[in-house]
Structures are given as C-alpha cells and as structure tokens.
C-alpha cells in the first residue's frame, strides 16, 4: 500500500476528508520551504503538493507564477526539489508528498532517472500538468516501476470517454479542476462541483480531490462536504507572498491559515 493510499484509508476510517495544501518549492528559498512542509503537517495537512518551478507555467495564475519566478531566481531546480523531499523524509516518513509541475524538467532529466530519483527521495506521486495520458505511456511505465503514483487532472470540459480513460490510468487520487481557467480563479460553484464529483464516483474507486478556486475556510468547508480531498494552492502561496518582507513571520502566518482551513474541513464532516 502506497503512502497516499494509506493516508486516504486512515482518513476514511476517521470519517475525515483530506486537506492538500500546495506550496512552490524554493519560494522564497529552500530552507523556508522545508520549514513550511513540516509546519503544514503540524497545521493539519494530509498530503503536501510541492510545486516544481518552471519558466512557463501555463496552468497557473499570477500568484503561483510569481512564486515560481522567485524560486527559479533563488536557484531551485528539479534536482533541488527532490533534495528537499529527501530532507523532509529524514524527519517525516508518513506524510505523502506529490510533485506538481510541467514536463520539460522531467524530460531534461529523463523519465527513468526522474522516476528512480523520485522514489529514492521519498516522492509518492507526480502530477505533470502538460502531459496528456494519451502521450504518457513511457513516463507512466517508469513511474509504475518505481511505485510512484501518477496523478491526473480532470476539467469541467473533459469528455466522458476521456474521463473514463484517465481514471483507468490514474493512481493515488484524481484531481478535479473545479472551474475553467488558471489557478487562483474565482467563481467557485459548489453545487456544480457536487454533481461532477458524484458522476466521477461512478467511474473510479480512487479518492477525488477538488482544487482551483478554494480560497478560504468557507470554500474549503463547502468542498469537503462533497469531495474526498480539498486542494488549496493560490491562497496558501499568497500567504507566503504577503510575508516576504517579514521572513521571521512567514511560516507561522502560512501555517495559521492552513490550520484554519483544516479545522473547517474537519468541522464540515462533523456537521453532516
């Protein structure tokens, strides 16, 4: 059983949903990222999505774009991200870590080398935004050999046939993009999300995470009532940006926000 599968099994037994915060690796520096990873776990994170900075992040809005620019400016690379995960694993052997990023750095490293290095570092899943499953066979085979779960995005516009095909290839969990647009978009319609999640449950036994547009405890609570995992990216990265000029307060500021969301996610299930 993978760490991701085990974590969701634990949460099901407890009657809780997962909170999956996203942070950009290396923003503003590697040491702060490592402190944030441990702080997020203490604040209630079930899984950590760790963004791999890339120069052309087509699915990301301006907040995460700026975070990636800061990380790249500080020298962060895919190898550096893997090193961060290895350092995190020295003190945390249980919290699942998923890398989220783009294909170019992985291609530059090579699929086999990336998959092996990811496993060695302690990575549990890989979400490659611009790698469609129809073209991912070589990467998927490399990940499968190393026991790293491929995570796929599903959009509101994804056809039923393609949803079925993606769910057959996915492992760990499925990530449903709750709205059209880039990360950080507004106008989250929870009723529509609930309908879509219900239809996805008929197609896959995997947990269903929902992200994009979740910006506060209220929206996190609403999504937790219908999904298995609440994925929060821009709102978390925005808290990092708010404290760039006060680095001594940054980790506490971000983790307090995540703790509020964690409490809201837990409370949402207890209220039902």
- Considering the domain delimited by 3-270, tell me its CATH architecture: Alpha-Beta Barrel (3.20)
Q: Using the 8-state DSSP alphabet, how is residue 74 labeled? A: T
Question: 60: pLDDT confidence band, cut at 50, 70 and 90?
Answer: confident
**Tokens 């070589």 label which residue?**
138
The per-residue pLDDT for range 183-241, each reduced to its tens digit, is: 444 555 667 788 888 888 888 899 999 998 888 999 999 999 999 999 999 999 999 99
Query: What's the mean pLDDT in 124-152?
Result: 94
Q: What is the pLDDT of residue 192?
A: 79
Report whether pLDDT(180) > 80.
Answer: no
Q: What is the pLDDT of residue 25?
A: 98
Query: What's the mean pLDDT in 122-139?
Result: 92
* 242 within 8 A of 253, measured Cβ to Cβ: yes
Residues 6+ apart with CB under 8 A from 243: 249, 250, 253, 254
Q: What is the pLDDT of residue 71?
A: 97
One of 49, 124, 149, 241 is an active-site residue; which one? 49
Query: What's the mean pLDDT in 244-260?
Result: 97
* 49 within 8 A of 81, measured Cβ to Cβ: no
Report whether pLDDT(162) > 90.
Answer: no
Domain boundaries, the chain: 3-270
Higher pLDDT, 231 or 168: 231
> Phi, psi (5° rounding) for residue 243?
-115, 20
**Tokens 């509020």 label which residue?**
260
Q: What is the pLDDT of residue 191?
A: 72
> Maximum CA pair distance of the chain?
50
Q: What is the pLDDT of residue 186?
A: 52
pLDDT above 70: percentage of residues in the chain: 94
Higher pLDDT, 127 or 1: 127
Q: What is the pLDDT of residue 181?
A: 47
Q: What is the pLDDT of residue 187?
A: 57
Higher pLDDT, 100 or 168: 100
Highest-scoring range by mean pLDDT, 12-16, 33-37, 61-65, 200-204: 33-37
One of 10, 42, 56, 60 is an active-site residue; which one? 60
Report whether pLDDT(272) > 70.
Answer: no
* 60 in active site: yes
Does residue 28 have a cis bond before it (omega within 30 degrees)? yes
Nearest to 28 by CA among 254, 179, 247: 247
Nearest to 197 by CA among 185, 210, 211: 210
The whole-angstrom distance between residue 11's C-alpha and the CA centroid of its chain comes to: 17
């Amino acid at each position: 059983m993978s760490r991701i599968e085990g974590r969701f099994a634990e949460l099901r037994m407890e009657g809780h949903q997962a909170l999956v915060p996203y942070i950009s690796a290396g923003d503003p520096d590697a040491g702060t990222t490592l402190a944030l990873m441990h702080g997020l776990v203490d604040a209630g994170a079930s899984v950590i999505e760790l963004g791999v900075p890339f120069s052309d992040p087509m699915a990301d809005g301006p907040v995460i774009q700026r975070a990636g620019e800061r990380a790249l400016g500080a020298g962060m690379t895919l190898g550096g991200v893997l090193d961060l995960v290895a350092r995190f694993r020295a003190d945390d052997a249980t919290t699942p870590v998923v890398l989220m990023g783009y294909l170019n750095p992985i291609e530059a490293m090579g699929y086999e080398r990336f998959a092996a290095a990811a496993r060695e570092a302690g990575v549990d899943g890989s979400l490659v935004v611009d790698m469609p499953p129809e073209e991912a066979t070589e990467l998927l085979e490399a990940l499968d050999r190393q026991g790293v779960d491929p995570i796929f995005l599903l959009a509101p516009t994804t056809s039923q046939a393609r949803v079925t095909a993606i769910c057959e290839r996915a492992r760990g969990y499925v990530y449903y993009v709750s709205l059209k647009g880039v990360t950080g978009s507004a106008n989250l319609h929870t009723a529509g999300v609930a309908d879509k999640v219900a239809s996805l449950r008929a197609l896959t036994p995997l947990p269903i995470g929902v992200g994009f547009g979740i910006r506060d405890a209220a929206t996190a609570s609403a999504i937790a009532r219908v999904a298995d995992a609440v994925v929060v990216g821009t709102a978390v990265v925005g808290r990092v940006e708010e404290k760039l000029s006060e680095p001594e307060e940054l980790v506490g500021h971000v983790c307090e926000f995540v703790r509020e969301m964690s409490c809201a996610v837990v409370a949402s299930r207890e209220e039902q």
